[in-house]
């Protein structure tokens, strides 16, 4: 999984609030986001990037998404 414990729930709640969607729709959005993070990891591993570089990139992408969801909150 591409998220640290609790981050998925946090994103789900933010998606529900920001987009006024159901829990089920928010869970689907979180799943797609996790797929995106896993894709980033896969591509970076293929490029032989270090684990720390991969963790930093994934964390950066999570923070971008979270900040986007917090705007106009």
Place of tokens 């999570």: 62
User: Which pLDDT band, with edges at 50, 70 and 90, does 31 fall under?
Assistant: very high
- Contacts for 69 with CB less than 8 Å, ≥ 6 apart: 11, 14, 15, 18
User: Which pLDDT band, with edges at 50, 70 and 90, does 1 fall under?
Assistant: very low
């Amino acid at each position: 999984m591409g998220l640290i414990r609790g981050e998925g729930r946090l994103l789900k709640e933010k998606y529900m609030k920001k987009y006024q969607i159901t829990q089920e729709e928010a869970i689907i959005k979180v799943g797609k986001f996790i797929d995106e993070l896993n894709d980033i990891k896969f591509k970076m591993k293929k490029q032989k990037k270090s684990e720390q570089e991969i963790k930093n990139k994934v964390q950066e992408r999570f923070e971008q998404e979270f900040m986007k969801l917090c705007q106009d909150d």
